[in-house]
């Protein structure tokens, strides 16, 4: 089955810096989702993308569905300490009984 490659695995940044992470696949996806997971909790949806080229924002977060439909990006602007956590991408193909998750990007924000 298709694999999702998420990078970077981890990031250590200063408060106020911008962050960028991405997911790529060798297969085409119809849906890209970005989740955040805090310690001891389940993943929480941040942004959902359904069209190639789509650019969607949620506060300081912006995500894009790549034109090739094989990748997606998540950017966080002006990071704050509560942005700490693990960010997951997830993708699925229409009419395909499969939702794949990336391995996650662990974000640490230093005050």
Residues that bind another protein (CB under 8 A): 30-31, 33, 35, 40-45, 48, 88, 92-94, 97-99, 101-104
Q: By C-beta, is 34 or 73 nearer to another protein?
A: 34
Q: By C-beta, is 42 or 59 nearer to another protein?
A: 42
User: In what helix (H) or strand (E) does residue 10 lie, and over which residues does it extend?
Assistant: strand 10-14
Tell me how far apart the alpha carbons of residues 72 and 81 are, in angstroms, rounded to a whole number: 24
To the nearest whole angstrom, how small is the minimum distance from the Cβ of residue 27 to another protein? 14
To the nearest whole angstrom, how small is the minimum distance from the Cβ of residue 76 to another protein? 19
What does residue 14 show for φ and ψ, rounded to 5 degrees?
Answer: -90, 145
Tell me how far apart the alpha carbons of residues 15 and 52 are, in angstroms, rounded to a whole number: 32
Q: By C-beta, is 61 or 79 nearer to another protein?
A: 61
To the nearest whole angstrom, how small is the minimum distance from the Cβ of residue 48 to another protein? 5
Residue closest to 101 by CA, chosen among 20, 4, 1, 21: 4
To the nearest whole angstrom, how small is the minimum distance from the Cβ of residue 15 to another protein? 27
Tell me how far apart the alpha carbons of residues 33 and 52 are, in angstroms, rounded to a whole number: 13
């Amino acid at each position: 089955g298709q694999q999702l490659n998420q990078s970077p695995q981890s990031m250590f940044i200063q408060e106020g810096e911008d962050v960028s992470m991405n997911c790529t696949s060798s297969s085409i996806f119809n849906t890209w989702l970005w989740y955040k997971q805090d310690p001891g909790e389940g993943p929480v949806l941040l942004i959902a993308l359904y069209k190639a080229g789509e650019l969607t924002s949620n506060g300081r977060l912006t995500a894009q569905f790549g034109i090739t439909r094989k990748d997606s990006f998540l950017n966080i602007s002006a990071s704050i300490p509560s942005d700490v956590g693990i960010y997951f991408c997830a993708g699925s193909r229409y009419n395909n009984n499969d939702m794949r998750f990336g391995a996650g990007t662990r974000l640490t924000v230093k005050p």
